[in-house]
Chain A
């Protein structure tokens, strides 16, 4: 196994001729990033023989659909080269096949493998950026099965990286994300696979997530098991959101995700990615208190205070939803928040006060 993330190396040029069509080469794809996989075995068996090779309509049940789904929107080209032909998927999901062709075409493929240092029987995976630099390379001499699933997994991890918050150009970001994702997925995989069988709990690797919390993108690596609540409190130091029952029954962990109140203890951090999250720390949106906070103080809507941030965030959701007018309706709509001190009458009063003011 050999891998590198050397940013300076030029990607070897190649040409894959295919009948009367223009040849497939580095130049053909303009400045688009390319994910290049040099696979072993014939195209037909790799795809279980049921590939309908029509432009834009490739069927498969071997991971290709997942790869294409992940690539869609990334703006990258996927080129898969097999022993007897090649498949190419453009950034708009257009697809075309190359080969098998004649001896000349087979020579093209052999020359390409040689230039990329992928010996017969080995597989190679490469990420090439828009400047034709080789940004990631991975060669496996004794390939395992499931190359496409591996690619899909890596691409899926790339999809988790929010592109909107960075100043890098989008393509640069795509390339570095792809490279990082492949590196993580492929290089770490054998290490993990070598661990003993999971008789006891093993953590199958962390994932990178970007959470949009109170208007700020916060990037962190979390175990997939981490709840949004634990990510906020234990990883980001945002302890305003409280842990009560940790099973969705008390409401102390209420935050807004996408403007809707939810239980952060039953939300996986990875699943909260992309949506704007508002916690008690960000509710006011400035130095002045939010009207709900003012009303809770004015009405004495708490005693020990432990449930209060959840109560206030739930009330913020209640007001946004607009389904509660009467005290009874407020009580029903606040039923997901428990107060062991029994401050309920004052909580209802505070919410009604804020509702009328807002």
Chain B
């Protein structure tokens, strides 16, 4: 691990001030960053510990029925929070489907939004070609072992899958990411927060250097309480998704008035499928509708022999998720 300067910020202003330094990185739970620093993939010159900027790191009900989650809230605290379980169940289910209990106790919401890919080529500095790690160096995954890679949202420069479960649920719940930066505060819709690799896989979010995530809000959407998360993985627990689906449905007299569909494990970013949503809205909540939606969601898939199975797997995960939530 490369050496770094460690600074502990006591409030957001101090964190922002320190973040102006080139090579500075914020650290929350550290479960991604410390791991990548040990691997030599990340080498910040300054680490700014933001675990003390918001002492309560609270999860609060908002007067309008929404929820405010501090960036420093731990994954386990969010997952077991009574409001999250009752009114935003997809988020609780996604968090509990992720990582291990130890890691969930450490990982923060802000850090999970910034989680980096598990692409084996990205994580191995002995591999010379990785446009995400070394822009312009190439992509070893193209023509490589791609079983864990993305089939949606890739580009010739990068097909690394986004690893987060939490973010997929947040996409289905219309979450809003709130930040403080050198140019003030702003709000970023979760669907716009992560960026597609296109020509710049090294850019993964809409954040600017030095911009700090302060909290996330979940709006009181009519579909939020009928939401859920289905994850398919190689082991029964503690494994990244091969495919996952977060769905949220506003069900009225057997028909779906509003729907959110998001996929994980199959795309380069937490993937909102507006195609699937368009198929479902206004339709009766039955299996044939779900299957049509699943077909629409994967229509643009760009598969390789190693990951062709993900098309059906994702479709079935989506159908299962929809069946589960409408059956509740």
Contact = CB atoms under 8 A, between A and B. Distances in A.
Interface in B4-30: 4-11, 13-14, 17-18, 27, 30
Interface string A239-252: 00000001110010
Interface stretch (A16-24, A34-42, A65-73, A341-349): A65-73
A202 B2 CA distance: 8
A153 to B, nearest CB: 7
B102 A262 contact: yes
Interface in A53-102: 61, 63, 65-66, 69-70, 72
Contact of B18 (A66, A198, A207, A332): A66
A198 B23 CA distance: 14
Nearest to A203: B3
A66 B14 contact: yes
B80 interface: yes
Given A332-B236, A336-B101, A271 B51 contact: yes
Chain B: interface secondary structure? mixed
B38 interface: yes
B105 interface: yes
A62 to B, nearest CB: 9
Contacts of B39: 247
Interface string A188-227: 0000000000100111100100000000000000011101
A28 interface: no
Nearest to B104: A336
Contacts of A207: 6
A137 interface: no
A335 B238 contact: yes
Contact of A224 (B17, B47, B51, B238): B47
B35 A247 contact: yes
Nearest to B36: A247
B100 interface: yes
B129 interface: no
Contacts of A227: 34
Interface residues of A, number: 47
A268 B34 contact: yes
Contact of B4 (A204, A261, A323): A204
A133 interface: no
Contacts of B5: 204, 224
Contact of B106 (A202, A246, A263, A331): A263
B49 A263 contact: no
B237 interface: yes
Most chain A CB inside 10 Å of its own CB: which residue of B7, B101, B105: B101
A332 B237 contact: yes
| Nearest 9 Cβ contacts at the A-B interface | A336-B100, A335-B237, A224-B6, A335-B238, A260-B105, A336-B102, A69-B14, A204-B3, A69-B10
Interface of A: 61, 63, 65-66, 69-70, 72, 153, 156, 159-160, 198, 201-204, 207, 223-225, 227, 246-248, 251, 254, 260-263, 266-268, 270-271, 314, 317-318, 321, 323, 331-337
Given A66-B18, A198-B3, A247-B39, 6 more contacts: A204-B4, A260-B76, A266-B34, A332-B236, A332-B237, A333-B101
